[in-house]
Amino acid sequence: MSEAAVQTGIARARAGTRPAAPGVDTASILAALADVADPEIPVVSVIDLGMVGEIRVGADGIGVDLLPTYIGCPALDVIRTRVEARLRAFDRPVEVRFDFRVPWTSDRITPAGREALRASGFAPPGPALPEAPILIQLGRPVDCPNCGSDRTSLENAFGPTRCRAIYHCTACQQPFESFKTI
């Protein structure tokens, strides 16, 4: 299927000129995307991270908008490729694009995603306060994902990837990472 044909399909789908075939709807696409893991933190999916924006379904194509966590995250292309590959199971043209209209924030991470992060040793981010200074945000108590203590301190606002900060727990004496509040 050519790019032009995909575009035409998407445009038709948006215009609602043809009903979606049975078996593909927003719910089934969301369920499929729950299989697509983040390449850098594979315990969470693109659904857990709140990266999925608008979904368009039509007889001629499926369109999905993804909200990038960080603009230049090197994993974005991998994520797009994986989402496209997963959606091909529906056997119709697929268009996946990145969308900045709704800025992704760490508040979009779902409760299930937060629990999965915690279980794998990442403290989930606190609520974003767009007007508060960064150090105030990151300096708020973060519970240690290893022992649960709140006797923790920020070591570095910058970590091994753009979305992670480094903390230290004075109770269990272990370093740990947190997903940054943004």
Partner 1 sequence: MSVAVLPALALGELIRSMADDEFVIGFSDSEWTGIAPLLEEDVAMSSLAQDELGHAAALYGLLGELTGTDPDALAYDREPGAYRHCRLLDHGRGDWAMAIARRFLYDSADAIRLEALAGGSWAPLAELVGKLIREERYHRMHAGAWLDRLARDDGEARARLIVALKELGPDASTVFTPLPDERALTEIGILAAPMAELEDRWRASIGPILAGLDLPMPPDAMDPAGGRLDHGEPFRWLWGEFTSVRRAEPGVTW
Residues of the shown chain interacting with partner 1 in the complex, contacts defined by CB under 8 A: 68, 70-74, 100-101, 103-105, 130, 133-135, 155-160, 162, 166, 180, 182
Which CB atom, from 85 or from 136, has the smaller least distance to partner 1?
Answer: 136
Which CB atom, from 116 or from 142, has the smaller least distance to partner 1?
Answer: 142
Question: Least distance to partner 1 from the beta carbon of 8, Å?
Answer: 20
Q: How far is CA 88 from CA 14, 101, 144, in A?
A: 19, 25, 40
Q: Give Rg (Cα) of the chain.
A: 19
Diameter of the chain measured on Cα atoms = 61
* CB-facing half-sphere around the CA of 32: CA atoms within 13 A: 19
The 3-state DSSP class for residue 119 equals: helix
Task: Identify the residue whose tokens are 């979904």.
Answer: 55
Question: Least distance to partner 1 from the beta carbon of 162, Å?
Answer: 6
Which CB atom, from 22 or from 133, has the smaller least distance to partner 1?
Answer: 133
159 within 8 A of 145, measured Cβ to Cβ: no
Question: Least distance to partner 1 from the beta carbon of 64, Å?
Answer: 18
Question: Least distance to partner 1 from the beta carbon of 103, Å?
Answer: 5
Question: Least distance to partner 1 from the beta carbon of 7, Å?
Answer: 15
Task: Identify the residue whose tokens are 């399909």.
Answer: 9
Which CB atom, from 148 or from 158, has the smaller least distance to partner 1?
Answer: 158
Count Cβ atoms within 10 A of the Cβ of residue 119 and give its class: 0-12 exposed, 13-18 middle, 19 or more buried: exposed
**For the chain, how far is it from start to end, CA to CA, in angstroms?**
39
The 3-state DSSP class for residue 136 equals: helix
Which CB atom, from 45 or from 137, has the smaller least distance to partner 1?
Answer: 137
Which CB atom, from 23 or from 160, has the smaller least distance to partner 1?
Answer: 160
Question: Least distance to partner 1 from the beta carbon of 142, Å?
Answer: 17
